[in-house]
Amino acid sequence: MGHSNQGSELARQLRDLYSSGMPIFRIGLIESRDSIEFRLSGRFSVLNDQGIAILKDVTSNVKWRVKIEQRQPSKYTYSIVLGQFQARQEAHELEYNLIEKGIGTRITTRGGKLYYKDRIVNDNTQFWVIVDRLASEEEAQTFANERLSEFSNHVIKEKINEPHALIELFDSEYEKLGETENVIRIVPESYEVITYIYDSILDNEIQSRMPKYRMFSGPLEFRSTNDGRVIIICEMPLEKYVESVVALEMKSEFPIEIIKAQAIAVRSKIIASLGIKHHEDPYNLCSGAHCQIFNGLTQTSGRVLKAVQETIGIVLRDNRQVIDANYSLICGGHTEAYHSIFDEDSKEPYPPIFDGSGKDQKEAYRDLTRDDNLKKWVREEPDVYCNLSNTQSSNVINYIRGQFRWQISYDRQELEEIISTKTCSNIGIIYDIIPIRRGVSGRILELEILASNQNLILNGEWNIRQTLTNDGLSSSCFYIERQFDDDGFPIAFTFYGAGTGHGVGLCQVGGLVMALRGTNYVEILTHYFKGIKLKKIY
């Protein structure tokens, strides 16, 4: 069979990495299911949460199934975060400031240190100033609005107790093989053994080119989630995970310099989020766009492996720590500011940039937050790296042509239906769609829809992209033109847009074009992450 060979090659690579002392990460894979099916290609044992084997040295060719029974979700309190600081002193200053106003706070530590061979290779400890524990989200929001409006703040959920559930294990004949509390660990005899996870929902969520199963190697854990359902967690060494993510992001025909740049961005992003994202979850990273998209073991090309190996341990750092190095497909000509997309309160880890070398162009379109400049920018196609019109046609780039500038048209009624469905509210007749605030790349961050039943404000580029089409707009960097009937009512809307994705950090197509022109990975990365240094930390 085709994939078992492929699997054993992957397993060999994984085993090599496991023996190198590389940090192991826990990745949350498929969340919130009631049951999950799986099959293993070789011998394995099943352990409970104490690490005691409930089944030993089993081989089985059929699919097995885990199912959650007797669930008891976690309980939460809601707290308000008023600041996230790298230095404890800064957190204390805010705390004193709040005490003077009669507001009690506590400081909690988030993030953490990453060790490699007993040495600290990164420390992304943060000190969060937090107010109170409130019983409900509404209560927290009201408190924030009434007492804390002069500070920037956001509400977070904190777990009071662990979820509890009984997890049952069945074979394909529905015969019960065992049960444990909260956790079932599947531990294959060796890394050559591949675990296949089957998921019917994969069909809809992930592009159809993905198979209906995902492959993993090494220990897997089935565990009850905080909402009392089941999640799979896989444990992987950092560099193996980098390989899998890079293989999804980059085509094997790309020049190696852009693949190296991508590998360094991926590695940096993983390390920078350690302990900060998913603090309340039983894993370090999720497998969706929130962290980085990961679909299990993938067939990695020789060039991807080479790019990862030749940059092993290299990360992007400011003078203190590894940075959250983001990337998206096409910036459109100017990258977006980190804080407009990810975290309004954070310091900018790297500035947004003009994605070209010509200085004149930059002057001509200086302020893309203004509608008139943005319109000109989208129409006139500036000479920037991700504009492929000056790059020779080739198989490497042809599939991404036509995404640097794009347009999409809707009948008014069609758009009304989409927006009403997406927002679960009947907005009525749309009169107008108005950008209220744009980021430096021209991406709309806040937008108002004027309609007969209600006016609607959409906040955040992701939300805007998701609400205005069935399958997501390429980006929120667009302007809108309306067509009217004789009575002056709009009958159609056309969106003229630039780029795809959030536009923060590395522009993958811009970097690809730079690499095709002979630029190396260091120059590519220092173009997109200005002021940031590359450093080999292990």
Q: By the 8 A CB rule, do 410 and 492 touch?
A: yes
Where does this chain touch Zn ion (CB under 5 A) — which range of 259-267, 381-389, 413-421, 436-444?
Answer: 381-389
Where does this chain touch Zn ion (CB under 5 A) — which range of 345-353, 360-368, 419-427, 508-516?
Answer: 508-516
25 vs 496 by CB, closer to Zn ion: 25
* Binding residues among 150-169 for Zn ion as defined by CB under 5 A: none
Does position 524 interact with Zn ion (CB under 5 A)? The reply is: no
Does position 245 interact with Zn ion (CB under 5 A)? The reply is: no
Where does this chain touch Zn ion (CB under 5 A) — which range of 78-86, 172-180, 323-331, 458-466?
Answer: 323-331
Which of 46, 169, 263, 291 touches Zn ion by CB under 5 A?
291
Q: Do strands 430-438 and 405-411 pair parallel, antiparallel, or not at all (unpaired)?
A: unpaired
Which of 286, 314, 374, 498 touches Zn ion by CB under 5 A?
286
397 vs 507 by CB, closer to Zn ion: 507
- Which residue type does 254 have? F
Q: By the 8 A CB rule, do 41 and 213 touch?
A: no
Where does this chain touch Zn ion (CB under 5 A) — which range of 3-11, 105-113, 328-336, 526-534?
Answer: 328-336
355 vs 461 by CB, closer to Zn ion: 355
46 vs 386 by CB, closer to Zn ion: 386
Instruction: State the nearest-atom distance from the C-beta of 386 to Zn ion, in Å.
Output: 3
Where does this chain touch Zn ion (CB under 5 A) — which range of 106-114, 235-243, 287-295, 411-419?
Answer: 287-295
105 vs 508 by CB, closer to Zn ion: 508
Does position 282 interact with Zn ion (CB under 5 A)? The reply is: no
- Which residue type does 281 have? D
Does position 355 interact with Zn ion (CB under 5 A)? The reply is: yes
Instruction: State the nearest-atom distance from the C-beta of 467 to Zn ion, in Å.
Output: 22
- Lookup result for tokens 């061979």: 117
Which of 68, 329, 507, 513 touches Zn ion by CB under 5 A?
507
Q: Tell me the DSSP string of 385-410.
A: TT-GGGS---HHHHTTTT-SEEEEEE
Instruction: State the nearest-atom distance from the C-beta of 355 to Zn ion, in Å.
Output: 4
Give strand pairing partners of 37. 65, 198
Size of the site for Zn ion (CB under 5 A): 8
* Binding residues among 431-470 for Zn ion as defined by CB under 5 A: none
Nearest to 26 by CA among 235, 279, 287, 272: 235
Q: Give CA–CA dist 295/278, Å, rounded.
A: 18
Where does this chain touch Zn ion (CB under 5 A) — which range of 44-52, 202-210, 288-296, 464-472?
Answer: 288-296
Instruction: State the nearest-atom distance from the C-beta of 94 to Zn ion, in Å.
Output: 27
Nearest to 306 by CA among 266, 246, 363, 216: 246
Instruction: State the nearest-atom distance from the C-beta of 74 to Zn ion, in Å.
Output: 18
Which of 111, 219, 352, 510 touches Zn ion by CB under 5 A?
510
Instruction: State the nearest-atom distance from the C-beta of 518 to Zn ion, in Å.
Output: 18
Instruction: State the nearest-atom distance from the C-beta of 511 to Zn ion, in Å.
Output: 8
3-state per-residue secondary structure call for 328-371: ECECCCECECHHHHCCCCCCCCCCCCECCCCHHHHHHCCCCCCH
Helix (H, G, I), strand (E, B) or coil at 169: strand
Instruction: State the nearest-atom distance from the C-beta of 400 to Zn ion, in Å.
Output: 11
Instruction: State the nearest-atom distance from the C-beta of 172 to Zn ion, in Å.
Output: 32
Instruction: State the nearest-atom distance from the C-beta of 28 to Zn ion, in Å.
Output: 8
Instruction: Tell me the backbone φ, ψ of residue 134, rounded to 5 degrees.
Output: -110, 155
Strand order across the beta sheet in which 126-134 lies: 106-110, 126-134, 76-85, 154-159
Instruction: State the nearest-atom distance from the C-beta of 135 to Zn ion, in Å.
Output: 26
Q: By the 8 A CB rule, do 496 and 378 touch?
A: yes
CA of residue 88 relative to chain centroid, distance: 28
Does position 290 interact with Zn ion (CB under 5 A)? The reply is: yes
Q: By the 8 A CB rule, do 505 and 526 touch?
A: no
* First and final C-alpha spacing in the chain: 38
Q: Please give the structure tokens belonging to residue 429.
A: 């007749």
Instruction: State the nearest-atom distance from the C-beta of 513 to Zn ion, in Å.
Output: 9
Farthest-apart Cα atoms in the chain, separation: 77
Which of 121, 236, 238, 386 touches Zn ion by CB under 5 A?
386
358 vs 428 by CB, closer to Zn ion: 358
Q: By the 8 A CB rule, do 435 and 479 touch?
A: yes
Q: Give CA–CA dist 326/501, Å, rounded.
A: 11
101 vs 290 by CB, closer to Zn ion: 290
Q: Give CA–CA dist 405/97, Å, rounded.
A: 48
Does position 331 interact with Zn ion (CB under 5 A)? The reply is: yes
Q: By the 8 A CB rule, do 242 and 308 touch?
A: yes
290 vs 437 by CB, closer to Zn ion: 290
Where does this chain touch Zn ion (CB under 5 A) — which range of 212-220, 331-339, 413-421, 460-468?
Answer: 331-339
Does position 31 interact with Zn ion (CB under 5 A)? The reply is: no
Instruction: State the nearest-atom distance from the C-beta of 117 to Zn ion, in Å.
Output: 27
For the purposes of burial, counting CB atoms within 10 Å of the CB of 255, is it exposed (0-12), middle (13-18) or buried (19 or more)?
A: buried
The H or E element that residue 287 is part of is none
Q: Which residues bind Zn ion (CB under 5 A)?
A: 286, 290-291, 331, 355, 386, 507, 510
